[in-house]
A = this chain, B = another copy of it.
């Protein structure tokens, strides 16, 4: 039951299960080590450094709960000659994206699931550390920010949820994951984190607020629906960000087509694309 993230960090590390305690060579470890050696030799023989060929790479973040938005956004980017690359905002994914941004891989970001801000504040699984949502601002590339999935943090199976969270609103994602609703105080803290990070950005930023909800469970009728918590977050962002950062309040939820289209439209505008 060891967590996988700490082993591999933000690199494409390969990990092999040793089966046995690594104490000398025996009939079992010999076979495991033989296979591991063969894999290493295979990779070494064929090694090519990672080559970023596209110049119009766009970074996106997503989780399953905003998949529909991704489906609306990506085809439009591809038609306009962009290469969208999607990072799974699971704590590790967001950190990887920010690392690539720092290395100049991307010409812009559509950050649809900055939910790692929430998990960092609450102690959820999708914790990307304190620096999430900072690399694009430092690099000065265009950013479209939609606070998708920030209305929950991720935990494991229902049975493993600590007492302190047991009275919270929860969304059953699958047998391995439960999504838990932050408190109003936490929603305010999350909003303040957005404000602090976006105000420090050197490049252009646009914020789109999905007034009807930020995740599947967070919609009206959903198990993590809490309009007052949403309002606190939106208000904190709206009143806190610098005047040069436009905030678009849209009467849609995060997975509706007009909201996705607005994200693409604003992205094209910031890039100065003829399509815009």
Using CB atoms and an 8 Å cutoff, list the residues of chain A in contact with chain B: 1-8, 10-21, 23, 26-29, 31-32, 34-43, 45-54, 57, 62, 70, 74, 83-88, 90-93, 96, 100, 105, 123, 125-127, 156, 159-160, 162-164, 176
Contact = CB atoms under 8 A, between A and B. Distances in A.
Given A16-B13, A27-B53, A42-B41, A1 B85 contact: no
Contacts of A96: 19-20
Given A15-B15, A43-B42, A127-B1, A34 B21 contact: no
A205 to B, nearest CB: 23
Nearest to A85: B26
A27 B1 contact: no
A123 B53 CA distance: 49
A262 to B, nearest CB: 22
B32 A43 contact: no
Contacts of A176: 2, 6
A34 B6 CA distance: 23
A17 B27 contact: no
Contact of A34 (B3, B4, B48, B90): B48
Contacts of A91: 1
A192 to B, nearest CB: 22
A35 B43 contact: yes
This protein's copies in its complex: 2
B163 A85 contact: no
Contacts of A48: 31, 34
A38 B27 contact: no
Contacts of A11: 17, 19
A4 B12 contact: no
A154 to B, nearest CB: 8
A14 B12 contact: no
Contacts of A46: 34-35, 37-38, 41
Nearest to A64: B21
Contact of A4 (B2, B38, B90): B2
